[in-house]
Homo-oligomer: A and B are copies of this chain.
Amino acid sequence: MDQRELTHFNAQGRARMVDVSDKPATKRKAVAVSTVRMAPETLARIRQGGVEKGDVLAVAQVAGILAAKKTPELVPMCHPLPLTGIDIRFAFPDDRTLRIEAEVTTTAPTGVEMEALTAASVAALTVYDMCKALDKAMVIGPTYLVEKRGGKSGDFVRDEAPDAQWG
């Protein structure tokens, strides 16, 4: 086994929530992205909602924020962490694509990559749910980590294609 061992496994070869009680609490940040691809008419409808009351993106954003806080009950080996900030942003890189970006911060012994990925994923699922009467063929993903700051393993920044226009 190489040095980056799969620390989720105990001496019996079973999964565990790794003991981090000897790691110091430090400031952490993670940013994750998910996308929903759909018919242009569906995306147009979502964008129009942006200027009305009760839009799809407002519901998706609340769902994503709540999901970040639920991460340790959804992803079994995640540690419960005192999240200090959650922000979800939307962009429309082209006429078929909704980009969802989730940023999560904490001061804790472990990072918040899973919280950011979970927030983005559940926001995307909520968009699917609210538009599925129009378009069942929508596709969620790719979903991935964009940036991770803090912690002993160092920073991680993904090289993304410059495809997003924040509006």
Residues on A lying within 8 angstroms of B by beta carbon are 4-21, 27, 34-35, 45, 50-59, 61-63, 65-70, 72-90, 105-109, 113-114, 117-118, 121-122, 124-126, 128-134, 136-145, 148, 153, 156, 158
Q: Which residues on the B side are within 8 Å of A117 (C-beta)?
A: 125, 128, 140
CA distance A114 to B124 in the complex (A): 11
Contact of A142 with B144 in the complex, beta carbons under 8 Å: no
Instruction: Using known A-B contacts A129-B78, A131-B6, determine if residue A140 contacts B141 with beta carbons closer than 8 Å.
Output: yes
In the bound complex, residues from chain B placing their C-beta under 8 Å from that of A8 are 56, 59, 129-130, 133
Give A89 to B15 CA distance when docked, in angstroms.
Answer: 10
Question: Is B144 in contact with A129, judged by CB distance below 8 angstroms?
Answer: no
Contacts beyond the supplied A59-B77, A77-B130: 18 A-B pairs with Cβ under 8 Å? A12-B54, A14-B61, A17-B83, A19-B85, A21-B85, A58-B59, A63-B76, A69-B72, A69-B80, A70-B70, A80-B83, A82-B108, A114-B125, A117-B128, A121-B121, A137-B144, A141-B141, A141-B142
- Which residues of the other chain, B, contact A86 by a CB distance below 8 angstroms? 16-17
Chain B residues contacting A65 (CB-CB under 8 Å) are 15-17, 76-77
Contact in complex: B140, A143 (CB < 8 Å)? yes
Q: For A54, what are the chain B residues with a Cβ–Cβ distance below 8 Å?
A: 9-10, 12-15, 58, 61
Contact status A158-B137, CB under 8 Å? yes
How far, in angstroms, from A50 to B45 measured CA to CA in the complex?
Answer: 18
